[in-house]
Amino acid sequence: MGRNEMKVAKQNINELFMKKKNTVFLTLAGSFFAGAQVPQPMNVLFIMSDDLNTDLGCYGHPLVKTPYLDRLAQQGMMFTHAYCQFPLSGPSRASMLTGLRPEKTNMCINETNFREALPDVITLPQLFMKHGYVTGRAGKIFHYGVPSEIGTDGHDDTISWNIRVNPKGRDKYEENKLINYTPSASLGIAPAWLAAEGTDEEQTDGMVATEVIKMMAQNKDKPFFIAAGFFRPHCPYIAPKKYFDLYPLDSIRLPQTPPDDLNDVPELAQHKALHTKLTPEQQKYIHRAYYASISFMDAQVGRLLNALDSLGLSKKTIVVFMGDNGYMLGEHFLWTKFLLFEKSVRVPLIIYHPGLACQSHATDEIVELLDVYPTLAFWCGLTSTHRLDGDNLHCFFENHPEKWQKKSAVSVVSRPNPPVDNTKPNWGYTYRGKSIRTSRWRYTEWDQGASGTELYDHASDPGEFTNLRGRKEFKKTIEKLKKEFR
Ligand SMILES: [Ca+2]
Ligand SMILES: [Ca+2]
């Protein structure tokens, strides 16, 4: 679609929007954007990966092989600075899927259900369902204990879906084969891995892809919002053996951290994972297994993208790919997530809209996972029933990144107020850490500053090693950043 045609299309949409209600807009919006002859709304293929940081080929990782995500990024838009709103599955996903900041969902832990605070909120898939779309998911989209709840509904919001499938693959049945460095701990947090025998299709994530392909084939003549919720690279890090072979152990480089790095880091900022006690060699095995899990998951994304082509859906399906939270692999001597450092809150976000030809395929502007809901709703002509906290990313797809107003991302995290007690709301956890990231700075407060603050200058210190709080020359910078908290 040329620029003038786009202008006309947008004008028409605006006029329609003024005059008519959403049903008409919904029916026509897809056709304007897609340039199709028969009015038809766009489909959405929504792909999530669990605990995936930006260690991907397209994000510049020197080792990790992700050919399919790289291809998606080349065709669509890669957001190099996208941030989750809470670095833990349940609260992050609830925030993104309701379009609301975590404090409004009142989810400080995975075990709380956002419906307690927001009984009537319309989730993103639910909005599509209410407008006549078929909504379906396979695997983890809302929270799901991994690996304990694989094969169940997990903590799903079941009213958001017409179709729910919960595959359970040989990764679940072969947990006894895991190489586990902390056998006494639960597998949901243990550093454990397996280079598995057998095929991709036998693994849970392979089955998720198979089920989603089936779902798209069965619903290819209806508008759909179909979601693939991959469990990898969440631990236990399991993938077929061939993906481990991509990463010889001697090619793995462990992150370099100054020995005194944590001396200027507040106690609450240091959530310790079991991985902290691993030997350097064990750490390399964990890196390799995490990378293998990413490449395996990437191959399943490839199967979905190829299926869109073979089903004739690629011209009428928006593809969204994202991670739910970042992941640390020993940076700052810290591991996993539930932290407010860059690597724990920065996530991959790649979006492809077949009807919008981006001239540029990547942007460094700061965006939040919250921005996904309003964008998809806008593209499909759906109006949210509640006020959304995110912004519409459309300007990046019409080659006007300068229209993007948001200049910072905010992430929060909880910490317990002992004693932890599962009869208390959120088990006694409250929002105690809050962090803001602009293109240059990261500023973090614990207990509104009473339990410590951190300021990192990404222009000179991308590793966030030197905490600049307390230095006179940065007082004004901190005051300014505090004003941008939301
Ligand atoms: Ca997660
Ligand atoms: Ca430090």
Q: Domain ranges in the chain? A: 1-40, 43-407
Q: According to the model, what pLDDT value does residue 357 have?
A: 85
* φ and ψ at residue 203, rounded to 5 degrees: -80, 155
C-alpha 455 – ligand 1 centre gap (Å): 26
Ligand nearest to the CA of 93: 1
Q: Where are the beta strands (DSSP E) in 330-463?
A: 335-336, 346-352, 362-368, 409-416, 429-437, 441-446, 453-457
| CA-closest candidate to residue 362, choices 373, 370, 371, 350 | 350
Enter the DSSP assignment of 142.
S
- In the three-class reduction of DSSP (H, G, I as helix; E, B as strand; rest coil), residue 23 is classed as helix
CATH 2.60.40.10 applies to domain 43-407: no
Structure letter (DSSP) for residue 356: -
The whole-angstrom separation of Cα 181 and Cα 185 is: 9
Burial label, 209 (beta-carbon count in 10 A; 0-12, 13-18, 19+): buried
Cα dist from 72 to 92, 177, 394, whole Å? 23, 34, 17
* CA 88 / ligand 1 centre spacing (Å): 5
Tell me, what's the pLDDT at 27? Answer: 38
The pair of three-digit structure tokens given for residue 376, joined into one six-digit string? 């998809």
The first and second tokens of residue 431, run together, are 């929002």
Residue of 326, 374, 337, 319 whose CA lies nearest to 83: 326
**Helices H / strands E in the chain, number of each:** 14, 17
Task: Report the C-alpha gap between 54 and 60 in whole angstroms.
Answer: 8
Whole-number Å distance, alpha carbon 411 to ligand 1 midpoint, is 15
- Distance between CA 33 and CA 13 in Å, rounded? 10
Q: How far is the CA of 409 from the centre of ligand 2 (A)?
A: 22
DSSP state of 328: E
Which one of the ligands is nearest to 53 CA?
1
Give ∠ CA 17-22-27 in degrees, rounded to 5: 100
Number of the ligand closest to the Cα of 270: 2
Q: Closest ligand to 88 CA?
A: 1
Q: How far is the CA of 156 from the centre of ligand 1 (A)?
A: 14
Does residue 144 register a pLDDT over 70? yes
Mean pLDDT of the chain: 93
Question: Ligand 2 centre and the CA of 429: distance in Å?
Answer: 26
- CA of 408 from ligand 2 middle (Å) equals 23
What's phi and psi for 341, nearest 5 deg? Answer: -70, 160
Q: How far is CA 27 from CA 32, 43, 215, in A?
A: 10, 12, 22
- Residue 198 CA to ligand 1 center (angstroms) comes to 26
Residue 134 bridge partners (DSSP): 224
Q: 350: which 2 tokens?
A: 């790649």
Distance, CA of 253 to CA of 148 (rounded, Å):
31
Per-residue pLDDT band for 31 (boundaries 50, 70, 90) equals very low
Distance (Å) from CA 325 to ligand 1 centroid? 5
Distance 336 CA to ligand 2 centre (A): 18
DSSP 149-193: TTTS-TT--GGG-SEEE----HHHHTGGG-EES-TTS-TTTS-EE
Cis link prior to 374 (omega < 30° from 0)? no
Residues 70-108 have pLDDT tens digits of 999 999 999 999 999 999 999 999 999 999 999 999 999
Q: Which numbered ligand comes closest to the C-alpha of 264?
A: 2
Measured in Å, residue 128 CA sits from the centre of ligand 1 at: 24
Q: Can you read off the two tokens belonging to residue 406?
A: 């948001």
Whole-number pLDDT of residue 358: 86
Using CA atoms, how far apart are residues 434 and 449, in angstroms rounded to an integer? 9
Distances (CA, A) of 374 to 68, 121, 124, 228, 360: 26, 15, 9, 20, 22
Q: At 29, is the pLDDT very low, low, confident or very high (cuts 50, 70, 90)?
A: very low
**Backbone dihedral region for residue 198 (phi beyond 0: left; psi -120 to 50: alpha; all else: beta):** left
Dist. CA 259 → ligand 2 center (Å)? 9
CA neighbor of 84 nearest in space, from 369, 425, 274: 369
Cβ(365)–Cβ(81) below 8 Å = yes
163 and 227 in contact (C-beta within 8 Å)? no
Kindly report, residue by residue over 258-315, the tens digit of the pLDDT: 999 999 999 999 988 999 889 999 999 999 999 999 999 999 999 999 999 999 999 9
pLDDT band at 7 (very low <50, low <70, confident <90, very high): very low
Closest ligand relative to 260 C-alpha: 2
What distance in angstroms lies between residue 129's CA and the mean position of ligand 2's atoms?
Answer: 47
What is the C-alpha to C-alpha distance for residues 257 and 461, in angstroms, rounded to an integer?
12
Ligand nearest to the CA of 461: 2
> What is the Å distance from ligand 1's center to 30 Cα?
32
CA of 407 to the centre of ligand 2 (A): 25
Residue 226: its H or E element: strand 224-233
Nearest ligand to the CA of 465 is 2
> For the chain, what percentages of helix, strand and coil (3-state, to nearest 5) are there?
40, 20, 40
Question: Measured in angstroms, how far is the CA atom of residue 237 from the centroid of ligand 1?
Answer: 13
> What does the pLDDT look like over 401-452, one tens digit per residue?
999 999 999 999 999 999 999 999 999 999 999 999 999 999 999 999 999 9
Q: Give the distance (Å) from ligand 2 centre to CA of residue 255.
A: 14
Q: Average pLDDT for residues 9-13, to the nearest whole number?
A: 39
CA of 88 to the centre of ligand 2 (A): 23
What's the one-letter identity of residue 116?
Answer: E
Q: Collapsing DSSP states into helix, strand and coil, what is residue 420? A: coil
| Chain segment 155-201, per-residue pLDDT in tens | 999 999 999 999 999 999 999 999 999 999 999 999 999 999 999 99
Long-range contacts, 244-253 (Cβ 8 Å, 24+) = 244/195, 244/288, 244/289, 244/292, 246/65, 246/291, 246/292, 246/295, 247/63, 247/287, 247/288, 247/291, 247/292, 249/284, 249/285, 249/288, 251/63, 252/63, 252/284, 252/287, 252/288, 252/291, 253/63
71 alpha carbon to ligand 1 midpoint, in Å?
24
